[in-house]
Amino acid sequence: MGYEIDKSDEQWRQELSPAEYHVLREAGTEPAFTGEYNHTKTTGVYQCRACGAELFRSDTKFESHCGWPSFFDPADSSAVELLEDRSHGMVRTEVRCARCGSHLGHVFRGEGYPTPTDERYCINSVSLKLAPEEG
Ligand SMILES: [Zn+2]
């Protein structure tokens, strides 16, 4: 697996908080309705908390009431990597940062949300860092 940002587990542990490490590097999930960006409507860019890559823009964030920040489209389709995830007895699509391979969340399709893509990128707040737009 060749990611542009390739650090050892030890390095990641030093750079990330335990909660960030658990989600980003161990594909954990933050508890629903607890994340800091769950209801955020600030205009700006959501970056990968591990490497700073631009992942999502606030204008694709929508209220899904699922308990995690939800986006209907990545900022750039090459910014994220999608992988089949068969853990927990389900078949889901995992979303990772394409630059550093960190776990972000999952993407669900065809749920009927009134968005242009009918996709819901269900992303952990702890995987993101919001860079608010100036002015
Ligand atoms: Zn990253």
The answer to whether 96 touches 83, Cβ cutoff 8 Å, is yes
Flag whether 1 is in a domain. no
Cα 116 to ligand 1 centroid, rounded to whole Å:
26
Residue with tokens 């002015």: 135
Over 90: is that where the pLDDT of 2 sits? no
Interatomic CA distance for residues 95 and 106, integer angstroms: 5
Q: Known catalytic residue: 48?
A: no
Range of the domain at 94: 9-132
CATH code assigned at 95: 2.170.150.20
Flag whether 20 is in a domain. yes
CA distances from 15 to 40, 51, 72, 87, 125 (A): 25, 10, 29, 27, 17
**How much is the pLDDT for 135?**
65
Task: Specify the 3-state DSSP secondary structure of 83.
Answer: strand
Cα 99 to ligand 1 centroid, rounded to whole Å:
5
Domains identified in the chain, total number? 1
Using one digit for the tens of pLDDT, what is the confidence trace for 88-113? Answer: 999 999 999 999 999 999 999 999 99
**Catalytic-role residue among 48, 97, 100, 122:** 122
Flag whether 31 is in a domain. yes
- The tokens describing 38, both together, are 């769950």
Cα 71 to ligand 1 centroid, rounded to whole Å:
17
**How much is the pLDDT for 134?**
80
Using one digit for the tens of pLDDT, what is the confidence trace for 22-72? Answer: 999 999 999 999 999 999 999 999 999 999 999 999 999 999 999 999 999
Flag whether 3 is in a domain. no
